[in-house]
Amino acid sequence: MHSKLNDKINQVSENTLVIGIDIAKKKHFACASDDRGRILEKPFPIIQSRDGFEVFYDYLLTLKAKHEKTDILVGFEPTGHYWMNLAAFLTSCGVRFVMVNPGHVKSSKELIDNLQTKNDQKDAQLIARLVRDGSFSYPRQLKGIEAELRNGATLRSKIQEDLNAIQNRIIRWLDRFFPEFTQVFKNFGKMAYAVLEKTPLPIDVVGKAPEELLFLYRQVDGMKSPQLPKVKRLIEVAQQSIGLTEGLVMARVEIATHLSQRKLMQAQQDELTAQLITLAKQMTDYDYLASVPGMGDITIVDLLAEVGSLTQYAHPRQLIKLAGLTLRESSSGKHKGQKRISKRGRRKLRALLFRVMIPLILHNPAFKQLHEHYTTRAINSLRKKQSIVVLCGKLLKVLHALCKKKQMFNEQRMIDDFTQLQAAA
Protein backbone atom coordinates (compact mmCIF):
# COMPACT_ATOMS: atom_id res chain seq x y z
CA MET A 1 0.00 0.00 0.00
CA HIS A 2 2.77 2.43 0.96
CA SER A 3 4.77 1.58 -2.16
CA LYS A 4 1.77 2.38 -4.35
CA LEU A 5 1.29 5.73 -2.62
CA ASN A 6 4.99 6.50 -2.98
CA ASP A 7 4.83 5.67 -6.68
CA LYS A 8 2.00 8.18 -7.09
CA ILE A 9 3.84 10.88 -5.14
CA ASN A 10 6.99 10.28 -7.19
CA GLN A 11 5.06 11.11 -10.36
CA VAL A 12 4.94 14.74 -9.22
CA SER A 13 8.46 16.13 -9.46
CA GLU A 14 9.84 19.66 -9.54
CA ASN A 15 9.39 19.56 -13.32
CA THR A 16 5.67 18.73 -13.11
CA LEU A 17 2.91 21.26 -13.69
CA VAL A 18 -0.04 20.11 -11.55
CA ILE A 19 -3.49 21.17 -12.72
CA GLY A 20 -6.54 20.69 -10.49
CA ILE A 21 -9.94 20.99 -12.19
CA ASP A 22 -13.33 21.30 -10.54
CA ILE A 23 -15.83 19.81 -13.00
CA ALA A 24 -19.22 21.43 -13.73
CA LYS A 25 -21.82 21.18 -16.48
CA LYS A 26 -20.94 24.23 -18.61
CA LYS A 27 -17.87 25.85 -17.03
CA HIS A 28 -15.04 24.11 -15.19
CA PHE A 29 -12.44 25.84 -13.02
CA ALA A 30 -8.75 24.95 -13.05
CA CYS A 31 -5.85 25.81 -10.78
CA ALA A 32 -2.12 25.42 -11.54
CA SER A 33 0.43 24.52 -8.86
CA ASP A 34 3.89 22.99 -8.54
CA ASP A 35 5.22 19.99 -6.63
CA ARG A 36 5.42 22.03 -3.40
CA GLY A 37 1.78 23.07 -3.57
CA ARG A 38 2.59 26.66 -4.49
CA ILE A 39 -0.12 28.25 -6.64
CA LEU A 40 1.42 29.23 -9.97
CA GLU A 41 -1.71 30.69 -11.51
CA LYS A 42 -4.97 31.68 -9.85
CA PRO A 43 -8.03 29.58 -10.77
CA PHE A 44 -9.27 30.14 -14.31
CA PRO A 45 -12.42 28.96 -16.16
CA ILE A 46 -12.68 26.28 -18.87
CA ILE A 47 -15.73 26.42 -21.12
CA GLN A 48 -17.29 23.04 -21.94
CA SER A 49 -16.93 23.29 -25.72
CA ARG A 50 -14.42 22.50 -28.45
CA ASP A 51 -13.15 26.09 -28.49
CA GLY A 52 -12.99 26.15 -24.70
CA PHE A 53 -10.96 22.93 -24.58
CA GLU A 54 -8.53 24.15 -27.24
CA VAL A 55 -8.04 27.46 -25.41
CA PHE A 56 -7.38 25.46 -22.23
CA TYR A 57 -4.80 23.25 -23.97
CA ASP A 58 -2.98 26.26 -25.44
CA TYR A 59 -2.94 27.85 -21.99
CA LEU A 60 -1.46 24.65 -20.52
CA LEU A 61 1.41 24.82 -23.00
CA THR A 62 1.91 28.50 -22.14
CA LEU A 63 2.04 27.75 -18.40
CA LYS A 64 4.39 24.86 -19.02
CA ALA A 65 6.84 27.09 -20.87
CA LYS A 66 6.42 30.05 -18.51
CA HIS A 67 7.25 28.04 -15.39
CA GLU A 68 9.86 25.87 -17.11
CA LYS A 69 8.09 22.57 -16.59
CA THR A 70 8.57 19.46 -18.70
CA ASP A 71 5.51 17.49 -17.66
CA ILE A 72 1.80 18.12 -17.06
CA LEU A 73 -0.45 16.14 -14.71
CA VAL A 74 -4.16 17.02 -14.68
CA GLY A 75 -6.45 15.89 -11.89
CA PHE A 76 -10.16 16.38 -11.56
CA GLU A 77 -13.10 15.39 -9.43
CA PRO A 78 -15.44 13.20 -11.54
CA THR A 79 -18.78 15.00 -11.21
CA GLY A 80 -21.53 12.95 -12.86
CA HIS A 81 -20.78 12.43 -16.54
CA TYR A 82 -19.54 15.96 -17.26
CA TRP A 83 -15.88 14.97 -17.00
CA MET A 84 -15.98 12.45 -19.84
CA ASN A 85 -15.74 14.93 -22.73
CA LEU A 86 -12.78 16.73 -21.17
CA ALA A 87 -11.08 13.39 -20.42
CA ALA A 88 -11.47 12.29 -24.05
CA PHE A 89 -10.01 15.60 -25.24
CA LEU A 90 -7.01 15.37 -22.90
CA THR A 91 -6.38 11.81 -24.07
CA SER A 92 -6.40 12.93 -27.71
CA CYS A 93 -3.84 15.61 -26.81
CA GLY A 94 -1.60 13.17 -24.96
CA VAL A 95 -2.07 14.90 -21.58
CA ARG A 96 -2.01 12.64 -18.51
CA PHE A 97 -4.96 12.92 -16.19
CA VAL A 98 -6.02 11.29 -12.92
CA MET A 99 -9.13 11.31 -10.74
CA VAL A 100 -9.62 12.59 -7.20
CA ASN A 101 -12.28 11.12 -4.92
CA PRO A 102 -15.11 13.66 -4.29
CA GLY A 103 -15.21 12.52 -0.66
CA HIS A 104 -11.56 13.49 -0.23
CA VAL A 105 -12.24 16.97 -1.62
CA LYS A 106 -15.19 17.43 0.72
CA SER A 107 -13.32 16.25 3.82
CA SER A 108 -10.25 18.43 3.15
CA LYS A 109 -11.99 21.71 2.28
CA GLU A 110 -10.90 23.37 5.58
CA LEU A 111 -7.19 22.67 5.07
CA ILE A 112 -6.64 25.78 2.93
CA ASP A 113 -8.31 28.53 4.95
CA ASN A 114 -9.80 26.76 8.00
CA LEU A 115 -13.26 27.72 6.75
CA GLN A 116 -16.20 25.59 5.65
CA THR A 117 -16.79 27.72 2.58
CA LYS A 118 -17.04 25.92 -0.74
CA ASN A 119 -16.70 27.30 -4.26
CA ASP A 120 -15.32 26.19 -7.60
CA GLN A 121 -12.04 28.08 -7.29
CA LYS A 122 -11.31 26.65 -3.84
CA ASP A 123 -12.19 23.12 -4.98
CA ALA A 124 -9.80 23.41 -7.93
CA GLN A 125 -7.01 24.35 -5.53
CA LEU A 126 -7.89 21.44 -3.24
CA ILE A 127 -7.86 18.98 -6.14
CA ALA A 128 -4.40 20.19 -7.20
CA ARG A 129 -3.15 19.65 -3.63
CA LEU A 130 -4.60 16.13 -3.45
CA VAL A 131 -2.96 15.24 -6.76
CA ARG A 132 0.38 16.51 -5.47
CA ASP A 133 0.01 14.34 -2.34
CA GLY A 134 -0.73 11.22 -4.38
CA SER A 135 -4.40 10.99 -3.33
CA PHE A 136 -5.70 10.06 -6.75
CA SER A 137 -6.65 7.06 -8.85
CA TYR A 138 -6.00 6.14 -12.44
CA PRO A 139 -9.12 6.23 -14.62
CA ARG A 140 -9.57 3.71 -17.38
CA GLN A 141 -11.43 4.91 -20.43
CA LEU A 142 -13.45 2.11 -21.97
CA LYS A 143 -12.96 1.35 -25.63
CA GLY A 144 -14.43 -0.96 -28.23
CA ILE A 145 -16.72 -3.73 -26.99
CA GLU A 146 -16.23 -2.77 -23.33
CA ALA A 147 -17.56 0.74 -24.02
CA GLU A 148 -20.51 -0.71 -25.95
CA LEU A 149 -21.33 -3.12 -23.11
CA ARG A 150 -21.15 -0.37 -20.46
CA ASN A 151 -23.45 1.95 -22.44
CA GLY A 152 -25.84 -0.85 -23.37
CA ALA A 153 -26.03 -2.27 -19.83
CA THR A 154 -26.72 1.20 -18.44
CA LEU A 155 -29.53 1.66 -20.96
CA ARG A 156 -30.93 -1.78 -20.15
CA SER A 157 -30.93 -0.90 -16.45
CA LYS A 158 -32.84 2.32 -17.17
CA ILE A 159 -35.43 0.44 -19.22
CA GLN A 160 -35.86 -2.04 -16.37
CA GLU A 161 -36.45 0.85 -13.97
CA ASP A 162 -39.11 2.23 -16.31
CA LEU A 163 -40.72 -1.22 -16.57
CA ASN A 164 -40.84 -1.45 -12.78
CA ALA A 165 -42.43 1.99 -12.61
CA ILE A 166 -45.10 1.00 -15.15
CA GLN A 167 -45.75 -2.22 -13.22
CA ASN A 168 -46.32 -0.16 -10.08
CA ARG A 169 -48.77 2.06 -11.97
CA ILE A 170 -50.68 -1.04 -13.12
CA ILE A 171 -50.87 -2.29 -9.53
CA ARG A 172 -52.11 1.13 -8.39
CA TRP A 173 -54.77 1.03 -11.12
CA LEU A 174 -55.89 -2.43 -9.97
CA ASP A 175 -56.12 -1.26 -6.35
CA ARG A 176 -58.68 1.30 -7.47
CA PHE A 177 -60.73 -0.50 -10.11
CA PHE A 178 -60.21 -4.26 -9.61
CA PRO A 179 -58.50 -4.95 -6.24
CA GLU A 180 -59.50 -8.63 -6.28
CA PHE A 181 -57.45 -9.24 -9.44
CA THR A 182 -54.32 -10.16 -7.45
CA GLN A 183 -56.23 -12.89 -5.61
CA VAL A 184 -56.37 -14.76 -8.93
CA PHE A 185 -53.03 -13.67 -10.41
CA LYS A 186 -50.43 -13.37 -7.66
CA ASN A 187 -47.67 -13.20 -10.27
CA PHE A 188 -48.08 -11.17 -13.42
CA GLY A 189 -47.57 -13.68 -16.21
CA LYS A 190 -48.81 -13.81 -19.78
CA MET A 191 -52.35 -14.70 -18.78
CA ALA A 192 -52.60 -11.80 -16.32
CA TYR A 193 -51.66 -9.29 -19.02
CA ALA A 194 -54.03 -10.97 -21.48
CA VAL A 195 -56.89 -10.52 -19.01
CA LEU A 196 -55.98 -6.87 -18.46
CA GLU A 197 -55.87 -6.30 -22.20
CA LYS A 198 -59.25 -7.89 -22.99
CA THR A 199 -61.27 -7.59 -19.77
CA PRO A 200 -59.60 -5.09 -17.42
CA LEU A 201 -62.72 -4.18 -15.37
CA PRO A 202 -64.99 -6.43 -13.29
CA ILE A 203 -68.00 -5.48 -15.45
CA ASP A 204 -66.13 -6.93 -18.44
CA VAL A 205 -66.04 -10.33 -16.72
CA VAL A 206 -69.40 -10.54 -14.93
CA GLY A 207 -72.10 -12.26 -16.96
CA LYS A 208 -69.73 -13.99 -19.38
CA ALA A 209 -69.24 -17.73 -19.63
CA PRO A 210 -65.75 -19.16 -18.96
CA GLU A 211 -65.56 -20.47 -22.55
CA GLU A 212 -66.32 -17.00 -23.91
CA LEU A 213 -63.50 -15.47 -21.85
CA LEU A 214 -61.10 -18.22 -22.88
CA PHE A 215 -61.85 -17.39 -26.53
CA LEU A 216 -61.06 -13.69 -25.88
CA TYR A 217 -57.76 -14.39 -24.14
CA ARG A 218 -56.55 -16.75 -26.90
CA GLN A 219 -56.67 -13.80 -29.30
CA VAL A 220 -53.81 -12.12 -27.44
CA ASP A 221 -50.38 -12.71 -29.01
CA GLY A 222 -48.45 -15.39 -27.13
CA MET A 223 -51.47 -16.59 -25.14
CA LYS A 224 -52.17 -20.10 -26.48
CA SER A 225 -53.69 -21.96 -23.54
CA PRO A 226 -55.26 -19.82 -20.78
CA GLN A 227 -56.11 -21.74 -17.63
CA LEU A 228 -59.79 -22.52 -17.12
CA PRO A 229 -59.64 -22.70 -13.27
CA LYS A 230 -58.23 -19.17 -13.12
CA VAL A 231 -60.94 -17.91 -15.46
CA LYS A 232 -63.63 -19.40 -13.23
CA ARG A 233 -62.00 -17.88 -10.16
CA LEU A 234 -61.81 -14.52 -11.94
CA ILE A 235 -65.56 -14.59 -12.56
CA GLU A 236 -66.18 -15.33 -8.88
CA VAL A 237 -64.12 -12.44 -7.54
CA ALA A 238 -65.43 -10.04 -10.19
CA GLN A 239 -68.98 -10.60 -8.95
CA GLN A 240 -67.93 -9.48 -5.46
CA SER A 241 -65.59 -6.68 -6.54
CA ILE A 242 -65.42 -3.44 -4.55
CA GLY A 243 -63.67 -1.60 -7.40
CA LEU A 244 -64.69 1.93 -8.35
CA THR A 245 -67.53 2.22 -10.84
CA GLU A 246 -67.13 5.88 -11.85
CA GLY A 247 -64.69 7.29 -14.44
CA LEU A 248 -64.42 3.97 -16.22
CA VAL A 249 -63.95 5.42 -19.72
CA MET A 250 -60.67 7.08 -18.75
CA ALA A 251 -59.80 4.08 -16.58
CA ARG A 252 -59.81 1.93 -19.73
CA VAL A 253 -57.63 4.48 -21.50
CA GLU A 254 -55.22 4.52 -18.56
CA ILE A 255 -54.74 0.76 -18.33
CA ALA A 256 -54.47 0.44 -22.12
CA THR A 257 -51.74 3.10 -22.10
CA HIS A 258 -49.80 1.33 -19.35
CA LEU A 259 -50.03 -2.01 -21.15
CA SER A 260 -48.91 -0.60 -24.51
CA GLN A 261 -45.96 1.19 -22.87
CA ARG A 262 -44.97 -1.99 -21.04
CA LYS A 263 -45.20 -4.07 -24.21
CA LEU A 264 -43.05 -1.61 -26.17
CA MET A 265 -40.42 -1.34 -23.44
CA GLN A 266 -40.30 -5.10 -22.98
CA ALA A 267 -39.69 -5.57 -26.70
CA GLN A 268 -36.95 -2.91 -26.62
CA GLN A 269 -35.31 -4.57 -23.64
CA ASP A 270 -35.41 -8.01 -25.24
CA GLU A 271 -33.82 -6.69 -28.43
CA LEU A 272 -31.16 -4.78 -26.50
CA THR A 273 -30.39 -7.85 -24.36
CA ALA A 274 -29.86 -9.97 -27.47
CA GLN A 275 -27.43 -7.36 -28.87
CA LEU A 276 -25.51 -7.19 -25.59
CA ILE A 277 -25.17 -10.98 -25.41
CA THR A 278 -23.82 -11.01 -28.97
CA LEU A 279 -21.24 -8.37 -28.01
CA ALA A 280 -20.25 -10.23 -24.81
CA LYS A 281 -19.65 -13.44 -26.76
CA GLN A 282 -17.01 -11.59 -28.81
CA MET A 283 -14.87 -11.10 -25.69
CA THR A 284 -12.33 -13.78 -24.82
CA ASP A 285 -13.57 -13.84 -21.20
CA TYR A 286 -17.06 -15.00 -22.16
CA ASP A 287 -16.41 -18.75 -22.61
CA TYR A 288 -14.51 -19.02 -19.31
CA LEU A 289 -17.19 -17.14 -17.39
CA ALA A 290 -19.98 -19.17 -19.02
CA SER A 291 -18.31 -22.40 -17.91
CA VAL A 292 -19.34 -21.66 -14.30
CA PRO A 293 -22.77 -23.24 -13.61
CA GLY A 294 -25.15 -20.46 -12.57
CA MET A 295 -23.46 -17.73 -14.64
CA GLY A 296 -26.06 -16.91 -17.28
CA ASP A 297 -25.71 -14.63 -20.28
CA ILE A 298 -27.33 -11.61 -18.56
CA THR A 299 -25.07 -12.03 -15.54
CA ILE A 300 -21.97 -12.18 -17.75
CA VAL A 301 -23.10 -9.08 -19.68
CA ASP A 302 -23.61 -7.12 -16.45
CA LEU A 303 -20.29 -8.32 -15.01
CA LEU A 304 -18.26 -7.42 -18.12
CA ALA A 305 -20.08 -4.08 -18.35
CA GLU A 306 -19.04 -3.23 -14.79
CA VAL A 307 -15.41 -4.43 -14.73
CA GLY A 308 -14.43 -4.93 -18.37
CA SER A 309 -12.10 -7.80 -19.19
CA LEU A 310 -10.93 -9.54 -16.03
CA THR A 311 -7.51 -10.15 -17.59
CA GLN A 312 -6.60 -6.46 -17.19
CA TYR A 313 -6.47 -6.84 -13.39
CA ALA A 314 -3.13 -7.98 -12.00
CA HIS A 315 -4.66 -9.43 -8.84
CA PRO A 316 -8.22 -10.41 -7.78
CA ARG A 317 -7.88 -8.08 -4.77
CA GLN A 318 -8.37 -5.23 -7.24
CA LEU A 319 -11.74 -6.68 -8.23
CA ILE A 320 -12.73 -7.20 -4.60
CA LYS A 321 -11.85 -3.60 -3.83
CA LEU A 322 -13.74 -2.40 -6.90
CA ALA A 323 -16.84 -4.19 -5.61
CA GLY A 324 -16.49 -2.56 -2.17
CA LEU A 325 -16.04 -5.94 -0.46
CA THR A 326 -12.82 -5.07 1.36
CA LEU A 327 -13.12 -5.12 5.15
CA ARG A 328 -12.97 -1.99 7.29
CA GLU A 329 -12.46 -1.83 11.05
CA SER A 330 -12.78 0.94 13.64
CA SER A 331 -10.59 0.13 16.65
CA SER A 332 -8.86 2.30 19.21
CA GLY A 333 -6.91 1.35 22.32
CA LYS A 334 -8.65 -1.52 24.06
CA HIS A 335 -11.74 -1.17 21.91
CA LYS A 336 -11.88 -3.74 19.12
CA GLY A 337 -14.38 -2.74 16.45
CA GLN A 338 -16.30 -5.12 14.23
CA LYS A 339 -15.14 -5.74 10.70
CA ARG A 340 -17.58 -4.77 7.97
CA ILE A 341 -17.33 -4.40 4.23
CA SER A 342 -16.32 -0.91 3.12
CA LYS A 343 -18.97 -0.53 0.38
CA ARG A 344 -16.48 1.81 -1.29
CA GLY A 345 -16.83 0.63 -4.84
CA ARG A 346 -19.31 -0.16 -7.57
CA ARG A 347 -22.72 -0.64 -6.00
CA LYS A 348 -24.13 -2.39 -9.08
CA LEU A 349 -21.25 -4.87 -9.12
CA ARG A 350 -21.77 -5.68 -5.45
CA ALA A 351 -25.51 -6.18 -5.97
CA LEU A 352 -24.82 -8.37 -9.01
CA LEU A 353 -22.48 -10.62 -7.01
CA PHE A 354 -25.09 -11.06 -4.27
CA ARG A 355 -27.78 -11.95 -6.81
CA VAL A 356 -25.50 -14.52 -8.45
CA MET A 357 -24.31 -16.05 -5.19
CA ILE A 358 -27.75 -17.08 -3.90
CA PRO A 359 -28.47 -19.60 -6.73
CA LEU A 360 -24.81 -20.71 -6.71
CA ILE A 361 -25.09 -21.65 -3.04
CA LEU A 362 -28.29 -23.58 -3.76
CA HIS A 363 -27.31 -25.40 -6.93
CA ASN A 364 -23.50 -25.37 -7.31
CA PRO A 365 -22.01 -28.18 -5.14
CA ALA A 366 -18.65 -26.45 -4.73
CA PHE A 367 -20.04 -23.14 -3.45
CA LYS A 368 -22.74 -24.97 -1.47
CA GLN A 369 -20.07 -26.98 0.36
CA LEU A 370 -18.04 -23.83 1.08
CA HIS A 371 -21.11 -22.04 2.42
CA GLU A 372 -21.94 -24.94 4.74
CA HIS A 373 -18.35 -25.00 5.99
CA TYR A 374 -18.25 -21.26 6.76
CA THR A 375 -21.58 -21.30 8.60
CA THR A 376 -21.09 -24.50 10.60
CA ARG A 377 -17.37 -24.66 11.43
CA ALA A 378 -16.57 -24.86 15.15
CA ILE A 379 -14.14 -21.95 15.22
CA ASN A 380 -15.09 -18.50 13.89
CA SER A 381 -18.30 -19.61 12.20
CA LEU A 382 -19.97 -16.99 10.03
CA ARG A 383 -23.56 -15.87 9.76
CA LYS A 384 -25.23 -16.63 6.46
CA LYS A 385 -24.88 -13.09 5.14
CA GLN A 386 -21.22 -12.94 6.18
CA SER A 387 -20.61 -16.21 4.37
CA ILE A 388 -22.24 -14.82 1.22
CA VAL A 389 -19.91 -11.80 1.35
CA VAL A 390 -16.86 -14.07 1.66
CA LEU A 391 -18.11 -16.25 -1.20
CA CYS A 392 -18.64 -13.18 -3.41
CA GLY A 393 -14.94 -12.46 -3.02
CA LYS A 394 -14.18 -16.13 -3.65
CA LEU A 395 -16.23 -16.02 -6.86
CA LEU A 396 -14.24 -13.02 -8.10
CA LYS A 397 -11.00 -14.89 -7.39
CA VAL A 398 -12.25 -17.94 -9.29
CA LEU A 399 -13.44 -15.90 -12.29
CA HIS A 400 -10.18 -13.94 -12.37
CA ALA A 401 -8.13 -17.15 -12.33
CA LEU A 402 -10.23 -18.71 -15.12
CA CYS A 403 -9.80 -15.71 -17.41
CA LYS A 404 -6.12 -15.20 -16.60
CA LYS A 405 -5.16 -18.85 -17.03
CA LYS A 406 -7.66 -19.39 -19.87
CA GLN A 407 -9.20 -22.44 -18.21
CA MET A 408 -12.77 -23.69 -17.94
CA PHE A 409 -14.37 -24.07 -14.52
CA ASN A 410 -13.75 -27.45 -12.92
CA GLU A 411 -16.21 -28.07 -10.11
CA GLN A 412 -14.51 -31.21 -8.83
CA ARG A 413 -11.12 -29.53 -8.75
CA MET A 414 -12.53 -26.71 -6.61
CA ILE A 415 -14.04 -29.27 -4.20
CA ASP A 416 -10.76 -31.23 -4.06
CA ASP A 417 -8.76 -28.06 -3.31
CA PHE A 418 -11.14 -27.19 -0.52
CA THR A 419 -10.93 -30.72 0.91
CA GLN A 420 -7.13 -30.56 0.91
CA LEU A 421 -7.17 -27.24 2.76
CA GLN A 422 -9.50 -28.69 5.38
CA ALA A 423 -7.24 -31.71 5.85
CA ALA A 424 -4.16 -29.47 6.19
CA ALA A 425 -5.91 -27.35 8.81
- Domain with residue 215: its CATH number is 1.10.287.4070
SS3 29: strand
Predicted local distance difference test score (pLDDT) of residue 7: 83
Which has the higher per-residue pLDDT, 377 or 402?
402
DSSP string covering 58-105, please?
HHHHHHHHHTT-SEEEEEEE--TTTHHHHHHHHHHTT-EEEE--HHHH
**42 and 152 belong to one structural domain:** no
Q: Is pLDDT above 80 for 113?
A: no
Predicted local distance difference test score (pLDDT) of residue 105: 78
Alpha carbons 283 and 277: distance in angstroms, whole number? 10
Number of compact structural domains in the chain: 3
Q: State mean pLDDT over 86-100.
A: 92
Predicted local distance difference test score (pLDDT) of residue 373: 87
**244 and 290 belong to one structural domain:** no
Q: Is pLDDT above 80 for 112?
A: no
End-to-end CA distance of the chain: 29
Q: Is residue 110 part of a domain?
A: yes
Which has the higher per-residue pLDDT, 411 or 316?
316
Q: Is residue 142 part of a domain?
A: no
At residue 2 the predicted structure's pLDDT band, cuts being 50, 70 and 90, is low
**156 and 273 belong to one structural domain:** yes
**Domain holding 98: CATH number?**
3.30.420.40
Predicted local distance difference test score (pLDDT) of residue 425: 57
**211 and 311 belong to one structural domain:** no
**167 and 121 belong to one structural domain:** no
Averaged pLDDT score across all residues of the chain: 89
At residue 269 the predicted structure's pLDDT band, cuts being 50, 70 and 90, is very high
Q: Is residue 347 part of a domain?
A: yes
Sign of the torsion angle spanned by Cα atoms 57, 62, 63, 68: positive
SS3 72: strand
Q: Give the range of the structural domain holding residue 258, as residue numbers without chain letter.
A: 147-277
Which tens digit of pLDDT belongs to each residue from 176-204?
A: 999 999 999 988 999 999 999 999 999 99
Q: Is residue 422 part of a domain?
A: no
Q: Which residues contact 88 (CB under 8 A, 6 or more apart)?
A: 141
At residue 416 the predicted structure's pLDDT band, cuts being 50, 70 and 90, is confident
Range among 78-87, 235-244, 415-424 rated most confident: 235-244
Where does a domain end: 82, 108, 132?
A: 132
Q: Which residues contact 144 (CB under 8 A, 6 or more apart)?
A: none
Q: Is residue 101 part of a domain?
A: yes
